[in-house]
Amino acid sequence: MAKNEPVAYLTGEWVPLSELKVHVHDRGFYIGDTVFDLARTFNGKSFKMKEHIDRLFRSMKAVRIDPGLSPEEMVGISEECVRRNEHLRKDAGDWHVWQAVTRGVAGWRELPTKATVIIQCVPIPFKIYASQFRTGAHTVIARTRSYSADTIDPKVKHYSRMNFNMADLEARDVDPQGWPLLLDQNGNLTEGTAYNVFIVSNGVIRTPGDNALLQGISRGAVAEIAERLNIPIVQEELQPYDLYTADEAFITNTPMCALPVTRADNRTIGDGKPGPITQQLLAAWSEWVGMDIVDQAERYAKR
Amino acid sequence: MPTYTAYFKGEWIPSDEMKIDRQDRGFRTADVVFDAMRTYNGGLFKLGHHIDRLYRSLQYARIDSGLTREEMSAIVEETVERNRGRLKEDGDFQLYMFVTRGKGMWANIAGPATVGVEAYQVPFHRYAPFIDNGAHGAVAKTRSYSHQSVDPKIKHQARMNFNLAELEAKDIDPDAFPVLLDMEGNLTEGTINSMFVVTNGVIRTPTDDNILQSVSRSVVMDLAERLGIPLVEEQLQPYDLYTADEAFLSFTGPGVLPMTVVDRQDIADGKPGPITTQLLAAWGEMVGVDIADQAKRFARY
């Protein structure tokens, strides 16, 4: 094992990250039978870990996977993973703390008896987005639609995401920088392939209601911060028109917190620069976690 | 007994050692298409059809396997040859081939593809117990994906809805194979099978708008034509299944498997129907194997 290699938890054992693999006969691979969650650290301290683990257990409840661990144990192992890799954090900046639970190894379409549990710390991929805090990100509305709750409820955080894969490809066809956004079966905005979407119109933050999308932890954090800053925020059905004609827009997820969006389907949003409310949210978020989120991303993206 | 040998990322290794990297999109986001076929008397059945369908799935998902159809076919054939020593013990093989998009943060910059091909015993135990008296079915609450999300014609592994459907079916009847409806409530398919009913001597099956382009389904159509049994594709609802004279499933293992109970109610007299039995016999004759007998003899529980 390389000296500078993180360790990860794999169903009861600690293994080098490079040995973290799943069997081809694991339902998590052969039939997408996996739920997951993803927290992050700020300065090496996990953020809202309990909320992430609670959501993971809601996902497992919905799809009926038993991890053989309690939520407290799962939090404990996640925190242990952070501790065990602390000596490597200087190079990583901060970690994704990533939990995945599959239904386990079983013969063709049989039900296994023991879940596969993965908990890993991996470096946050700052390079993917760091420069876009200043330039703004581009979004593209994909042709492929979000799953209907009749098939697999989008509130569940799972790996069975062929539609997200298609949406990634379609977005890049339109704009090489495009972050895909998906519509539901009725044409309403839902979410991206790993992020929630917000727009700002006339000083009001607007975001799709949570009946057809992931219960984003960062999305919840935006609501908390907005309340603290006295910025009105509403949940409502939104269509592409609302995004195109917004004053500002941003996307949120665990690593990025809030990333400004300045382009949607090759239309400039507002004046084409990151908007003031987005910047205000990001500044408040940095203050909350005790570090400059943008500065860290920019510094580590260069490494 | 020697262990099975599989093709994995360009090498031949024991099947049990085929492991997918945590970063492979095939695991991380089920970014993987696959196909499966079987042998009869050790000979591959409809290899060309399965390879063609795999390449249609790849085309739709925009995954480049890095292999030509001919190369992929040759690997499948070599997989059979390398494992031929197990045929006597195991009866026949099922072949499973998959292609993932490989590693990558985004689908458009991922690769190279991870390709695997393995053989294992035809899962006789999954259907042998149901050949004589018929399988059970249960209509699941969870629906088939809309083709606006992922077209059900492609054979991919991102199937959380199938996982839920299997569990829901077992809530109703521990033996049941799930039957999925589309978003409008029409019958589509099972998680491993196509669906057929027989009404007044006519075989009826859902149209191919919202289902896998099943090879077994097309074989049923060929056999029906050869036997002079009328067959129609049309939209069907649970009513048609409940009130059918007979019903059967079609999938790679048995070809045709009677279904005699659905949602805990007998279909007609609750026994495998004559047209189902006729089709199964014709299939066996076509491939030179007594399908029911083989499954019962070789099934390992």
> pLDDT digits over B202-253, tens only?
999 999 999 999 999 999 999 999 999 999 999 999 999 999 999 999 999 9
Domain membership of residue B281 as a residue range: 128-298
Tell me if A140 sits within 8 A of A181, measured CB to CB: yes
Name the residue facing A165 among B107, B118, B123 (closest C-beta): B107
CA distance B150 to chain A (A): 6
Confidence check: pLDDT of A93 > 80 = yes
Domain ranges of chain A: 7-124, 132-301
Searching chain A, which residue's CA lies closest to the CA of residue B143? A151
Tens of pLDDT, residues A108-121: 667 888 999 999 99
Q: Is B234 exposed, middle or buried (0-12, 13-18, 19+ CB in 10 A)?
A: exposed
Average pLDDT score over residue span B47-72: 98
Q: Which of A13-22, A106-115, A120-129 has the lowest mean pLDDT?
A: A106-115
- Could you tell me which chain B residue has the CA closest to the CA of A147? B149
Residue A110's pLDDT is what? 74
- Residue B70: CB partners within 8 Å, gap ≥ 6? none
Q: Which residue among B143, B150, B164 sits closest to A166, beta carbon to beta carbon?
A: B150
Cβ neighbours of residue A169 closer than 8 Å, sequence gap 6 or more: B62, B107, B108
Choose the final residue of a domain: B107, B122, B137. Answer: B122
Q: Which structure tokens are listed for A161?
A: 């995401």
CB contact under 8 A, B27 and A128: no
A160/B159 Cβ within 8 A: yes
Q: Do domains A7-124 and A132-301 have the same CATH topology?
A: no
- How many contacts (CB atoms, under 8 Å) link A and B? 154
- Give the gap in angstroms from C-alpha A117 to the nearest C-alpha of chain B: 12
* Shared-domain flag, residues B83 and B231: no
CB–CB of B142/B164 below 8 Å? yes
Q: Are residues B150 and B276 in the same domain?
A: yes
Which CATH code is given to the segment(s) A132-301? 3.20.10.10
Tell me what pLDDT residue A303 has. 85
* Residue B190 to residue B211: CA distance in whole angstroms: 9
Average pLDDT on B12-16 reads 97
Residues of A in contact with B101 (CB under 8 A): 165
B278 and B158, same structural domain?
yes
Domain count, chain B: 2
The β-bridge relationship of strands A178-183 and B114-121 is unpaired
pLDDT > 70: percent of chain B:
99
Look up the pTM and report it: 0.94
- What DSSP assignment string belongs to B164-224? HHHHHHHHH-TTEEEE-B-TTS-B---SS-EEEEEETTEEEE--TTSS---HHHHHHHHHH
Question: How much is the pLDDT for A1?
Answer: 54
**B205 and B93 belong to one structural domain:** no
Closest-CA residue to A32 (of A168, A184, A151): A151
Average pLDDT in the B134-139 region? 98
pLDDT of A107 reads 79
pLDDT exceeds 90 at position B40: yes
Nearest by CB: B146 against A64, A108, A185: A185
pLDDT for the residue numbered A211:
86
Distance (Å) from the alpha carbon of B278 to chain A's nearest alpha carbon = 28
Q: If you average pLDDT over residues A136-150, what whole number do you get?
A: 97
**pLDDT exceeds 60 at position A166:** yes
Q: What is the pLDDT of residues B187-197, one digit of tens each?
A: 999 999 999 99
Cα separation of B287 and B254, whole Å? 12
B22 contacts A21? CB cut-off 8 A: yes
A28/B27 Cβ within 8 A: yes
Question: Which pLDDT belongs to residue B208?
Answer: 92
- What is the CATH T-level fold of the domain A7-124, as seen in this structure? D-amino Acid Aminotransferase; Chain A, domain 1 (3.30.470)
Dist. CA A181–CA A192, nearest whole Å: 4
- Nearest C-alpha in B relative to A173: B108
Contact B148 A172 (CB under 8 A): no
Indicate if the pLDDT at residue B165 is higher than 60.
yes
Q: Identify the closest residue of chain B to A169 by CA–CA distance.
A: B108
Do B104 and B143 reside in the same domain of the chain?
Answer: no
- Residue ending a domain, among B86, B104, B122, is B122
CATH number (domain holding residue B252): 3.20.10.10
Residues B244-277: pLDDT tens digits? Answer: 999 999 999 999 999 999 999 999 999 999 999 9
Average pLDDT value for chain A:
96
Answer with the one of B100, B122, B144 that is the final residue of a domain. Answer: B122
Does B75 share its domain with B23?
Answer: yes
Considering the domain architecture, whether residues B132 and B225 belong to the same structural domain is answered as: yes
A41-82 tens-digit pLDDT: 999 999 999 999 999 999 999 999 999 999 999 999 999 999
